[in-house]
Structure 1
Amino acid sequence: MSPSRTSTVFERQRPDASVVRHALAPSRQAVFWTEDAPAERHPRLHGDLSCDLAVVGGGYTGLWTALLAKREDPSARVVLLEGRRVGWAASGRNGGFCEASLTHGDENGRTRWPGEFDELQRLGMQNLDEIEQTVSELRLDAEFERNGALDVATEPHQLPWLREAEGPEATFLDRDAIQSLVRSPTYEGALLRTRDSALIHPAKLVRALAKACSDAGVEIFERSPVESIGDGTVLETPTGTVRSRRTALATNVFPSLLRRNRLATVPVYDYVLMSEPLTASQRQSIGWEGRQGIGDSANQFHYYRLTSDDRILFGGYDAVYHYGGRVRSAYEDRPASFRRLAGHFFTTFPQLEGLTFTHRWAGAIDTCSRFCAFFGSAREGRVAYAAGYTGLGVAATHFGAKVMLDLLAGRTTERTELEMVRTRPIPFPPEPAAAIGINLTRWSLDQADHRAGHRNAFLRALDAVGLGFDS
């Protein structure tokens, strides 16, 4: 017999509507990160050229791929093509959580690849270490802070989940212990992870990687969308053609240039608020001296962190799929989601009542059915791709870039031998089945959060066939 439906803390301790209205009134639809650190402009491609490696996409995956390729072979001609501006999409508008996990969390990894989970954990930590080393070596101005993270329980039924995850570098904190670190009436307990998480300034990392690419000799072209891949690896843009020996596709949430991947990902919209800077007294009222990134433990979860000037970014919870799987700027302005986030913010930190938000924005996450990146090659090994990061890709894109370069070079490495790398996710069905299934999943996850984590028959069926999601 399943538990009866109950309210969550965000419903039991809902702030007054006037608090939410006041907080949102001065906010505007804009991405704080890219306003704070605008990227350098790059020219549009004009005419035809040939190169050793073409990279399609100017987000983290594409930038890491281009930079690593040039560091591996400085003599290679590497060209990066971006349809709009470098870092304008997910790479410039995410929460800035740089996590070691390659599998979107331990439970997802253990369930899908139990035989190689320990190796995936080791490679994930190695990947984060390599990012930190590169940031230091190249002096990348990205506000990299390896502060660890807090997974907080906001309902009693979440506490056993955190206790089960305790380990050498993950310490369970009871209510008193977590309240001594960060003061929120919603916290029942927490898991403190000390090494597997860092924070970055998303747009500064984009800008720093693009500069490092340019300094290394990568040719970056913006406003040069690749419309098709012709015979071999001939890339057609509206204003020129690139003929490359090898091509890396780093197109994230946007439609793949390869037919085989057209149904492999869907865009799911995520929403974010950024507060004004906290005053000294507001900062003192919440503690948070360790500056860890924080995420709660529900299926529909929030993530939040401090910026260098003591703003609070607060995002997550709503994950909205629009019929047809299109990416449109109109989907980014969703007042209901911003009101919900603001309400949940003041439930989390009621002592900050009166604080206002300066920015609100959204972005599309490239979700795949296994909830972490997938990889592969095509055109007799001349084209490689990485996609499907599902919202945990800031660090994983570095790993994805290395996998693509391995595949394009025909190298057998410990990365390419992973089952996780060699297998593909189950594709999403065409409409209307995609919308029905995705929205039923979201509804079921919400039901689980309201029933002490109890998963209904639909979720249990997804779990049984390897399509279950556990945040």
Structure 2
Amino acid sequence: MLRVVGTDPVRSLVDAEPVPFWLDDPARPAPSAALAGEEHCDLVVVGGGYCGLWTALLAKERDPGRDVVLIEAREIGWAASGRNGGFCSSSLTHGLGNGLARWPDELAELQRLGRENLDAIEDALRRYGIDCGFERTGELHVATRPHEVRELRDLAETARHFGDAPEFLGTDEVRAEVASPTYLAGVLDRRGTALVDPARLAWGLRDACVRLGVRVFERTAATGLGARGEAMVVRTGYGRVVARRVALATNAFPSLVRRVRPYVVPVYDYAMVTEPLSPGRLASVGWRNRRGVSDSANRFHYYRLTADDRILWGGYDAVYHFGSRLSGDLDQRPGTFQVLAENFFHTFPQLEGVRFTHTWGGAIDTCSRFTAFFGTAARGRVGYALGFTGLGVAATRFAAQVILDRLDGLDTPRTRLRMVRGKPVPFPPEPLRWAGIELTRRSMARADLDGGRRNLWLRTMDALGLGFDS
């Protein structure tokens, strides 16, 4: 832990509300009514996060006559889509390095598709009038240890071969962007990332769906999936939906297709936001260009400014709970918030005395290849995408296109990708699952302190195509 003399990180947390900042919004819409009885439609979408919302919206754009129902167990944007940092990245592969390690032959195409996808999101927000604070700020990746400087320089050079134009920044240049004494170097990607208010993005997509005729039912948990002749039936608490096709967008929650469950584990990520910074405090950290920032460690932080000049600070301490446990009481973890606060003041010692107003956590759907995978079930009548591993704000739109391609029986450049056709390595059953994930987490933390050197366990995981990332 990194403590700054004179700063008590615990005192900075004592007044924080234990709720997600984005969802604590007076503009939060009232939920729609739950589904009761039996509904019939062409397509039912299960899950009201980004993946489900994009699937419903794009389904109506492709065929305005298609009857679409969307059901959500809680409220639209309640889970990961309303709790994330709001980094809307063009990457479909959880970063260039991960894509290069797994699909080098098609990485140029994946990068191109990712840039097109982010452009299409920006266009959709403009067409539908969705006010979610979309800022095409770009992202700054920073090095805080000497070995990370070399890695960032190499990554910037590699990215240029795949159509990107990152800029390597030395110490003075990176600190001119954001003033932290911990920064040694950085890579600036000016166009590959936008920042959004994630909850307002979800609510805006919901409104766009409704305007196109999607029937949205909230507080409607899907409890089962079965067949009725050539149709599929999704059972809910108070009724059922009978549909020709089903799109599953359930994120970290157990899939209705049971054979898919071993491919995903829920990992809890944590974040918090400060009080609004005064003009003087904001000037002390620079940040004139409002770029999103992430550091380059295995256990990395992500952080950004909000519309009212707070700093959102998250990441670092990704936690898996034995048995893939999911529970609301895991959304708060005081030990993690204390570590995050200590690291915050280490990064920005000039902000001593700033207080945090909100702390929260939530589950991420993590798979062993760190990026989404796709599939169908029930003879092509059910489609799904899972495993976004925390980088799904933009990638969910691409995933929705793949789901619809598959459900519509289309052969497209997307469906021909090896990334789309392949699956990750499944996680083993407990207790091996917990032991493997925990050993990997500890090994990655050790690598951060050991010049980036990966031990035998991590090298073995690399060879097997397995791993863990926050």
| TM-score bucket of the superposed structures, by smaller chain | over 0.9
Say whether the 8 Å CA contact 2:7–2:352 is kept in structure 1: no
Q: Structure 1 CA distance, aligned partners of 2:215 and 2:6?
A: 51
Say whether the 8 Å CA contact 2:437–2:468 is kept in structure 1: no
Is 1:25 the counterpart of 2:14? The answer is yes
Q: Which residue of 2 aligns with 1:464?
A: 463
Letter aligned with residue 402 of structure 2:
V
Q: CA deviation at 1:55?
A: 0.1
Letter aligned with residue 350 of structure 2:
Q
Cα deviation 1:145-180 (Å, max 9, x = unaligned): 001000000111100111112235200000011111
Q: Which residue of 2 aligns with 1:218?
A: 214
Q: CA deviation at 1:468?
A: 4.0
Q: Which residue of 2 aligns with 1:15?
A: 4
Q: Which residue of 2 aligns with 1:180?
A: 176
Q: Which residue of 1 aligns with 2:357?
A: 358
Say whether the 8 Å CA contact 1:253–1:364 is kept in structure 2: yes
Q: Mapping of 1:86-235 within 5 angstroms?
A: 86-166=76-156, 167=160, 168-231=164-227, 232-235=231-234
- Which of 46, 62, 74 is matched with 1:72 structurally? 62
Say whether the 8 Å CA contact 2:370–2:469 is kept in structure 1: no
Q: CA deviation at 1:466?
A: 1.6
Q: CA deviation at 1:403?
A: 0.4
Q: Which residue of 2 aligns with 1:242?
A: 241
Q: CA deviation at 1:38?
A: 1.4
Cα deviation 1:289-318 (Å, max 9, x = unaligned): 010000000000000000010000000000
Letter aligned with residue 47 of structure 1:
G
Q: Which residue of 1 aligns with 2:301?
A: 302
Q: Which residue of 2 aligns with 1:4?
A: none
Cα deviation 1:28-67 (Å, max 9, x = unaligned): 2011101124133111001101100000000000000001
Letter aligned with residue 251 of structure 1:
T
Cα deviation 1:301-347 (Å, max 9, x = unaligned): 00000001000000000010000002101111111100000000001
Q: CA deviation at 1:460?
A: 0.3
Q: Structure 2 CA distance, aligned partners of 1:240 and 1:338?
A: 41
Instruction: Give secondary structure in 1 for the equivalent of 2:280.
Output: helix
Q: CA deviation at 1:392?
A: 0.4
Instruction: Give secondary structure in 2 for the equivalent of 1:35.
Output: coil
Q: Which residue of 2 aligns with 1:270?
A: 269
Q: Which residue of 2 aligns with 1:45?
A: 35
Q: Structure 1 CA distance, aligned partners of 2:226 and 2:127?
A: 39
Say whether the 8 Å CA contact 1:39–1:203 is kept in structure 2: no
Letter aligned with residue 120 of structure 2:
E
Q: Which residue of 2 aligns with 1:388?
A: 387
Q: Structure 2 CA distance, aligned partners of 1:247 and 1:198?
A: 31
Q: Structure 1 CA distance, aligned partners of 2:22 and 2:469?
A: 29
Q: Which residue of 1 aligns with 2:292?
A: 293
Cα deviation 1:327-373 (Å, max 9, x = unaligned): 10111111110000000000111101011000000010100011000
> 1:238 and 1:48, CA in 2 relative to 1: closer, same or farther beyond 3 A?
same
Over aligned residue pairs, what C-alpha RMSD do you find? 1.1
Say whether the 8 Å CA contact 1:170–1:191 is kept in structure 2: yes
Say whether the 8 Å CA contact 2:92–2:111 is kept in structure 1: yes
- Structure 1 residue runs of 5 or longer lacking an equivalent are 1-9
Say whether the 8 Å CA contact 1:97–1:293 is kept in structure 2: yes
> 1:191 and 1:178, CA in 2 relative to 1: closer, same or farther beyond 3 A?
same
Instruction: Give secondary structure in 1 for the equivalent of 2:23.
Output: helix
Q: CA deviation at 1:21?
A: 2.1
Q: CA deviation at 1:26?
A: 1.1
Q: CA deviation at 1:23?
A: 0.9
Which stretch of the first structure deviates more once superposed, 276-285 or 19-28?
19-28
Q: Structure 2 CA distance, aligned partners of 1:264 and 1:17?
A: 46
TM-score (norm 1): 0.96
Q: CA deviation at 1:22?
A: 2.1
Letter aligned with residue 156 of structure 1:
P
Is 1:318 the counterpart of 2:317? The answer is yes
Instruction: Give secondary structure in 2 for the equivalent of 1:91.
Output: helix
Instruction: Give secondary structure in 2 for the equivalent of 1:33.
Output: coil
Q: Which residue of 1 aligns with 2:426?
A: 427
Instruction: Give secondary structure in 2 for the equivalent of 1:30.
Output: coil
Deviating runs (4+, > 3 A) in structure 1?
Answer: 468-471
Is 1:282 the counterpart of 2:281? The answer is yes
Q: Structure 2 CA distance, aligned partners of 1:41 and 1:223?
A: 8
Say whether the 8 Å CA contact 1:15–1:343 is kept in structure 2: yes
% same residue: 54
- Structure 2 residue runs of 5 or longer lacking an equivalent are none
Q: CA deviation at 1:469?
A: 5.2
Q: Structure 2 CA distance, aligned partners of 1:301 and 1:258?
A: 33
Q: Structure 2 CA distance, aligned partners of 1:436 and 1:73?
A: 47
Which stretch of the first structure deviates more once superposed, 348-357 or 18-27?
18-27
Letter aligned with residue 394 of structure 1:
V
Instruction: Give secondary structure in 2 for the equivalent of 1:24.
Output: coil
Letter aligned with residue 338 of structure 2:
R
Instruction: Give secondary structure in 2 for the equivalent of 1:336.
Output: helix
Q: Structure 1 CA distance, aligned partners of 2:457 and 2:96?
A: 22
Instruction: Give secondary structure in 1 for the equivalent of 2:66.
Output: coil
Letter aligned with residue 201 of structure 1:
D
Q: Structure 1 CA distance, aligned partners of 2:240 and 2:19?
A: 34
Count of equivalent residues: 460
Q: CA deviation at 1:220?
A: 0.4
